[in-house]
Amino acid sequence: MTRNVIFTTQAPAAIGPYSQAIATKDLLFVSGQLPIDPTTGKMVDGDIGMMTQQILKNTSAIALEAGTNLNKTLKTTIFLTNLADFQAVNSAYASHFPEAPPARSTVQVAALPLGSNIEIEFILAR
């Protein structure tokens, strides 16, 4: 199996020893994305909806670099530090997946890197 590292400056660089994404012939595995503005390298200010939008924007850039797009998302996993944010995240998320949304899991976690309230990982078709 051929395995290609995907990197774009249009999304935040990895904050550890991992790739933004790994592509195979048919699939793209995007590492968990935080709501970081790639131009500043800092977390976006705002509510959880704005954070969700930034993550989706970053992931879209990674997907485009790999020759695919968010419409081909198969599965996401959302990590939240507070499940009370679930509905606000759903509203922002739904704007990117209005029809036939991907499979999804959402879990509450004790903490996330850089003190983020949200992280989302993606699996896409290519």
Residue ranges and CATH numbers for the domains of the chain are 4-125 (3.30.1330.40)
Distance CA 107, CA 39 (A): 29
Report pLDDT for 65.
Answer: 98
If we measure between CA atoms, which residue out of 113, 17, 24 comes closest to residue 68? 24
Report pLDDT for 28.
Answer: 98
Report pLDDT for 1.
Answer: 85
Q: Helices (DSSP H) in 3-126: which residue ranges?
A: 48-65, 86-94
Low-confidence ranges of the chain (pLDDT < 70): none
Report pLDDT for 20.
Answer: 98
The β-bridge relationship of strands 73-80 and 103-108 is parallel
